[in-house]
Amino acid sequence: MQSAPRIDARDGALIQIVDAAMAEAARRSGPWLVCRVGCTECCMGPFPINQLDARRLRRGLAELDVRDPVRAGQVRERARQYLARISRDFPGDPFTGILAEGEEAEARFADFAEDEPCPALDPETGACDLYAERPITCRTFGPPVRAGAQAVGVCELCFHGATDTEIAACEVESDPDGAESTLLSELEEAMGVHGQTIVAFCLAS
């Protein structure tokens, strides 16, 4: 069984792979990619995150506690207020934060809390307070990115006027060796916690 420091080290290596792929995607995309600080459309509404993402976010918040406890407290308070607003309709276990599985649960999640800003988002600056430890979904949103058999999509604010061929020319594979899936399985086995959650549940405690 992998130890926690070993898992964290391998997660750090995964992030380096993903970030390098995204840097290449940004290079290929050039002016088609208009993502910037203060553009927060992708920070609205919840999205599923896995236990690797959750662990990374908690670690980031603990580090922020040391560097800037006031800011860390603001993140926690935003997360608590978020959960107070959405817990009644949460499509999963409102105590553990684990999302339910199956078609019905996915349908409920599709329309769930879509106007809620991510609690890691600083409402004054439009920047992420936990940017260095953000989930994989946040890291790969924007340019055309493929992860295994997953369909390629791009941010609706980017690539205006681009042809399918021009978009395809910017595509990258974010995790070509499937490292995230392997590491996630090992982490879930080690922790005894399985399933997906949302950002607010990671940051409210």
The domains of the chain are located at 4-35+46-203
Contacts of 100 (CB under 8 A, 6+ apart): 91, 92, 93, 108
Cα–Cα distance for residue pair 52/42, rounded to 1 Å: 20
Which amino acid belongs to residue 47?
A: F
3-state secondary structure of 178: coil
Task: Look at the pTM and tell me if it is higher than 0.85.
Answer: yes
What's the pLDDT score for residue 1? 46
pLDDT tens column, 67-122: 999 999 999 999 999 999 999 999 999 999 999 999 998 999 988 998 999 999 99
Confidence of residue 151 (pLDDT cuts 50, 70, 90): low
